[in-house]
């Protein structure tokens, strides 16, 4: 199996573990797609990201395998933290468990914003307001 399709494990808590993969695929007459697949207890959920107007997937231009984005945000589906954010958002929306496909773009903005917020340290309480 290629490095791009390797199976990885995501442990959410003591009772919830997913096996996940990321791959790039092409279907006849369809735009390129990045696919994040989660496996848990015999249930397979695929988050599908189709390229299109204002959205890019994979190695378009200066992109990379597993890269998905729009004009405002970029996510790397090979990062465990990104996968965890998709799991958390899907659970929050009561979309998991699901044996089937989800449109990854429906969760994309919420996940991108949560990742950006997690990467931004909190302002110390004694810090004056910025410009």
Where are the chain's structural domains?
A: 3-116
Measured torsion, CA atoms of residues 42, 80, 7, 41, in degrees rounded to the nearest 10: -10
> What pLDDT score does 1 carry?
44
User: CA 6, 23, 66, 111 torsion: positive or negative?
Assistant: negative
Helix (H, G, I), strand (E, B) or coil at 43: strand
> What pLDDT score does 117 carry?
80
pTM of the predicted structure, to 2 decimals: 0.82
Non-local CB neighbours of 70 within 8 Å, separated by 6+ positions = 54, 55, 56, 108
> What pLDDT score does 51 carry?
87
Q: For residues 56 and 104, what is the distance between their CA atoms, to the nearest angstrom?
A: 12
Kindly give the confidence (pLDDT) of every residue in the chain, 131 residues in length, as a single tens digit, with 9 standing for 90 and above: 455 458 899 999 989 999 999 998 887 887 789 999 999 999 999 999 998 888 888 766 555 778 899 989 999 999 999 999 999 999 999 999 899 999 999 999 999 998 888 777 776 666 666 55
* Lookup: tokens for 27: 């279907």
């Amino acid at each position: 199996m290629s490095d791009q399709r390797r199976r990885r494990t995501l442990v959410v808590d003591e009772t919830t573990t997913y096996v996940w993969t990321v791959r790039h695929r092409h279907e006849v007459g369809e735009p390129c797609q990045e696919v994040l697949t989660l496996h848990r207890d015999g249930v397979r959920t695929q988050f599908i990201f189709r390229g299109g107007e204002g959205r890019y997937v994979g190695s378009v231009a200066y992109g990379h395998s597993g890269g998905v984005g729009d004009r405002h945000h970029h996510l790397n589906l090979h990062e465990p933290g990104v996968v965890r954010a998709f799991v958390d958002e899907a659970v929050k929306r009561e979309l998991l468990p699901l044996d089937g496909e989800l449109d990854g773009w429906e969760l994309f903005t919420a996940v991108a914003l949560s990742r950006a917020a997690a990467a931004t340290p909190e302002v110390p309480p004694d810090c004056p307001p910025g410009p």
